[in-house]
Amino acid sequence: MPVQYEEIKSVKKAPEEEFYLPGHRTCAGCGPAVGYRLIAKAAGRNTIFLGPTGCMYVANTSYACGPWKVPWTHTQITNGGAVASGVEVAFKQLIKKGKIKDEFPNIIVMAGDGGSIDIGVQAASALFYRGHDVLFIMYDNESYANTGIQVSPMTPYGGNTTFTPPGPMIPEGKKLFPKDPMLIFAGGGHPAVKYAATASIAYPVDLMNKVRKGLAFEGPAFLHVHCPCPKGWTYPAERTIDLAKLAVQTGMWFLYELEDGVRTWSRKVDKLRPVEDYLLGQGRFTHLEPEHVAKLQAWVNERAQVLGLNATLPPVR
Amino acid sequence: MPKKSYPEVPFAAIVPCPTVENDKMVTGNWRSLRPVVDMEACTSCKTCWLMCPDASVNFDEAEGISFNLKYCKGCGICSSVCPVEAIRRVPELDFTD
Amino acid sequence: MTTKKRATGLTAVCDAWQLVDIDVTASYPIRPYTAVFADLAKRIANGQMKCEMVFAEGEHGQFSIAHGASMAGARATTGSSGVGLTYAAEVYSPIAGGRCPIQVLVGDRTLDPPGDFGSEHTDCLTMRDNGWIFGWAQDAQEALDNSLMCFRIGEDPDIMLPQIVAMDGYFVTHITQDYEVPDQDLVDRFLPPFKPKFRLDVNNPVIMGPQITPEMGPPLEWDRNVVMQRAKGKIVEVTEEFGSVFGRHYAPFVEEYMTEGAEMVFLLQGAHAVTCKSAVKYLREAGYPVGMLRLRWVRPFPEEALQAIAAKFKVIGVIDTGTSYGAAGGGGVLLVETRASLSETPDKPIIQGFTSGLGGEVITHDEFFRMAEMMRKTIEAGQLVQSSTWVNFNDYV
């Protein structure tokens, strides 16, 4: 029985009302800010946001204010999942006991890399295990950006950050390959998670519908949203959406849903562009040698195969 | 010397949500390039409106596309996503306002 | 109607939580407080309590879940012991600064290393700077009563602070005792429903906990200081109210036992006071002019209450069942706090420290006798003989 939600048909038909208003200290061209706006728009008025420490906390609430039209609370970077669990259970109890007359709200955690998959992973996992009716969204800008761009488990292989600077001893900068939160949270190890999806700000209608779908599912849902970061990735701010699109076109970001363990690709991709097309113009990759690029291409190709993407893959040179 | 006076602070730092704009963080003065739209070229696809991180592109059925210059940071996303290149980015210094 | 019950301090607090109809709690096992959640789980399963018990992923998670529930307007509790308490360290200040009046039950326990299940007060005392109100109960009855009083004080619109109801591991958490469970009607009269100043509510949207400018920090912290000081008056008010509603009258801050004519007093907190009172009786018979002061609160620390009575005595022997390595005086937290409270008091007594009861050991009558003899020697000398004595390690008698 497919889940019921009001689908957004197109960019033009996207809901007009804003819930993430003008007036926030995010960088010009901030990818996560685009994400927040779209997510808040899709979720609507009956929504409570939880913001673990990160860019979307510090930059948005500087100073003693915030751009959300809906209720929002800070959480520690460690406990977005836990605080959200408490909020959810409280609403259920208070409504059940007749202590409040509220309608059960959308409860959305907007956590960055760290708050989802690193320091916050324990709380997120527990939320998914316990089956709370919460939408946990990871805005992925591939670093600890708020603290000035340090490596996170989502930083790609070869990504230059202040903790992974390239040098003669470590020419690639970052040697490690990133975690895959989709597989971790929704790969079957958390049986209560019936719906998870990756999304990208380059595909706003797709993203907004995934938000609505995730909210419509009973129980926890997970969204992994790709949000390019002009400061962290070092590129001109106007390229944010362009780069997000290139990520999908090169397989540096895969766009799919996982519903009860079954994968559905969100876009038809016949052929992946070579990763160079994506790396070009990003300052965090300018130090890469051909052998590093080849490693990245090999990784993309392997992931495409493991995930079952039926597309022509670029050669590994 | 009198003692230092501190601002009034709300209970537990809890503040009300804004309803139209968060004017405690006005960002229009960050801008060095201002977006300017050619409404002749514009097809009203509303992509620029949807993709602005600062919700600073307005769309009106009658008036078309306009920009909230109080908050626009001049990031250029609107210009970049426009499918018909209807938005130029013009140096702020060129304007008198 | 009141019910007489024979059970442990953990059961007693569970009874209190049932009486006040908590909405949400978060469980996690660690010795010696775990049984409270096993008890609570049974009551939920039997329909006796209408509360959701969330299986937290750890103590940090427990506190966070309770915090979230409180922000949503629920009456929320949790608990822990030992290293569980210190694992949650990050969130104590956010919860207190957020003015979320959750209640935490502590069955205290020695901190690692090594693994030691025995009672010590260090775990909870280590968190004392974060803005919570808390104190120790000496038995199951007081644990229940403190729980009720803490909800009333903590949730008061003038206060809004989280509370810790602490009790000695094993001595109060596990030993079966007689106590009375008060009448539901009386509890309803004593404690109104929880009405926070703000909650997460789409009809009254607020932003909780934004980033602030540096100059907003000090006034917010001043507010926290003001409310902690205001809590002292509220404690007196509520303790009196409790007495008139339930008929059990507690000294708001410091219980005095056989202090009339006492030249020396033991100052301590928690269950060891029970043995101490018995030892004091024997000591009095043996001619020692000794009494006991039992602290009911550590935060806010009852300095005024101590200042009011200190001059009656020649020496106060502060007993710390815990450690604070490197602290001034070479003893524990209570020694430092007591000396600080009385440092400017005219005619203040000599204050010496005793560290005893570590690792969950009973402080025996024999040890109280030896401490009394050491205090007698101090009075004889007219000055401190030894700042801090770890009983059985560097006794001077």
Taking only the tens place, the pLDDT of each residue in C76-108 is: 999 999 999 999 999 999 999 999 999 999 999
Tracing tokens 């019910």 back to the chain, one arrives at C3
Give the per-residue pLDDT at A1.
Answer: 64
Interface test with C, best of B3, B11, B25 (most C CBs within 10 A): B11
Taking only the tens place, the pLDDT of each residue in C29-50 is: 999 999 999 999 999 999 999 9
Q: Which residues from chain B sit within 8 angstroms of residue A20, using beta carbons?
A: 55
**Pair C313, C349: CB distance under 8 Å:** yes
Q: Which residues from chain B sit within 8 angstroms of residue C223, using beta carbons?
A: 9, 11
Beta bridge partners of A58: none
Q: Is the pLDDT of residue B5 over 80?
A: yes
Quote the minimal CA–CA distance from B49 to chain A in Å. Answer: 9
Chain C CB within 8 Å of residue A147 CB: no
C254-390: CATH number: 3.40.50.920
Q: Which chains touch A (3 or more CB pairs under 8 A)?
A: B, C
Closest CA to C296 of C265, C253, C249: C253
Taking only the tens place, the pLDDT of each residue in C307-331 is: 999 999 999 999 999 999 999 999 9
H or E stretch covering C283: helix C272-285
Tracing tokens 């019950």 back to the chain, one arrives at C5
Q: Is the pLDDT of residue C1 over 80?
A: no
CATH value at residue A84? 3.40.50.970
Q: How far apart are CA C333 and CA C134, in angstroms?
A: 14
**B76 → closest Cβ in A24, A29, A70:** A29
Q: Is the pLDDT of residue C189 over 70?
A: yes
| Tokens coding A36 | 């927040």
| Number of residues in chain C | 397
Nearest CA in chain C to B16: C206
| Tokens coding A109 | 């955690």
| Tokens coding A292 | 């590093």
Interface test with A, best of C17, C22, C24, C91 (most A CBs within 10 A): C24
Three-state secondary structure readout of chain A: CCCCCCCCCCCCCCCCCCCECCCCCCCCCCHHHHHHHHHHHHHCCCEEEEEECCHHHHHHHCCCCCCECCCEEEECCCCHHHHHHHHHHHHHHHHHCCCCCCCCCEEEEEECHHHHHCCCHHHHHHHHHHCCCCEEEEEECCCECCCCCECCCCCCCCCCCCCCCCECCECCCCCCCCCCHHHHHHCCCCCCCCEEEEEECCCHHHHHHHHHHHHHCCCCEEEEEECCCHHHHCCCHHHHHHHHHHHHHHCCCCCEEEECCEEEECCCCCECCCCHHHHCCCHHHCCCCHHHHHHHHHHHHHHHHHHCCCCECCCCC
- Max CA pair span of chain C: 70
Q: The domain containing residue A254 runs over which residues?
A: 31-307
Contact C23 A71 (CB under 8 A): no
**Pair C259, C293: CB distance under 8 Å:** yes
Chain A CB within 8 Å of residue B39 CB: no
Q: Where are the domains of chain C?
A: 3-246, 254-390
Q: What is the dihedral of CA C250, C254, C258, C259, to 10 degrees?
A: -140
Share above pLDDT 70 across residues of chain B, in percent, rounded to a whole number: 100
> Average pLDDT of each block of 10 consecutive residues along chain A (317 residues)?
91 98 98 98 98 97 97 98 98 98 98 98 98 98 97 98 97 98 96 97 98 97 98 98 98 96 94 98 97 98 96 94
Contact B27 A64 (CB under 8 A): no
Between C397 and A26, the more confident residue is A26
Distance between first and last Cα of chain B: 42
Tell me the count of B-C CB pairs closer than 8 A.
50
Residue A43 CA: distances (Å) to CA of A216, B26, C210: 10, 25, 22
Domains and CATH numbers, chain B: 27-94 (3.30.70.20)
Q: Is the pLDDT of residue C254 over 70?
A: yes
What is the overall mean pLDDT for chain C? Answer: 97
Helix (H, G, I), strand (E, B) or coil at C47: coil
Helix (H, G, I), strand (E, B) or coil at C222: helix
| Tokens coding A37 | 């706006």
Give C136's contacts (C-beta < 8 A, 6+ positions apart): C121, C166, C167, C168, C269, C270, C271, C295, C296, C298
Q: Which residues from chain A sit within 8 angstroms of residue C56, using beta carbons?
A: 82, 126
- Sign of the Cα torsion C168, C173, C176, C180 reads positive
Q: How far apart are CA C366 and CA C55, in angstroms?
A: 44
User: What is the Cα Rg of chain A in Å?
Assistant: 19
> Exposure of C271 by Cβ count < 10 A (0-12 exposed, 13-18 middle, 19+ buried)?
buried
Closest CA to C59 of C50, C71, C48, C67: C67
Taking only the tens place, the pLDDT of each residue in C199-222 is: 999 999 999 999 999 999 999 999
Contact B77 A238 (CB under 8 A): yes
- Sign of the Cα torsion A8, A14, A17, A18 reads positive
Angle in degrees, CA B74, B17, C209, rounded to 5: 95
Give ipTM to 2 decimals.
0.97
Q: Do domains C3-246 and C254-390 have the same CATH topology?
A: yes
Q: How far apart are CA C65 and CA C25, in angstroms?
A: 8
| Tokens coding C189 | 């009269």
Contact C23 A58 (CB under 8 A): no
Chain A CB within 8 Å of residue C20 CB: no
Give the per-residue pLDDT at A83.
Answer: 98
- Sign of the Cα torsion C237, C238, C242, C243 reads negative
Distance between first and last Cα of chain C: 52
Give the per-residue pLDDT at C380.
Answer: 98
- Chain-centroid distance, C-alpha A252: 14
Q: How far apart are CA A25 and CA A55, in angstroms?
A: 10
Give the per-residue pLDDT at A157.
Answer: 98
**Backbone φ and ψ of A20, nearest 5°:** -125, 95
Tracing tokens 């761009």 back to the chain, one arrives at A149
Q: What is the dihedral of CA C69, C73, C77, C82, to 10 degrees?
A: 60
Q: What is the pTM of this model?
A: 0.97
Structural domain count, chain A: 1
Q: Is there a domain that residue A20 lies in? A: no
What is C3-246's CATH topology?
A: Rossmann fold (3.40.50)
Lowest mean pLDDT across B8-12, C7-11, C132-136: B8-12
Helices (H) and strands (E) in chain C, counts: 13, 15
> Phi-psi bin for C39: left (phi > 0), alpha (psi -120 to 50), beta?
alpha
Q: Is there a domain that residue A7 lies in? A: no
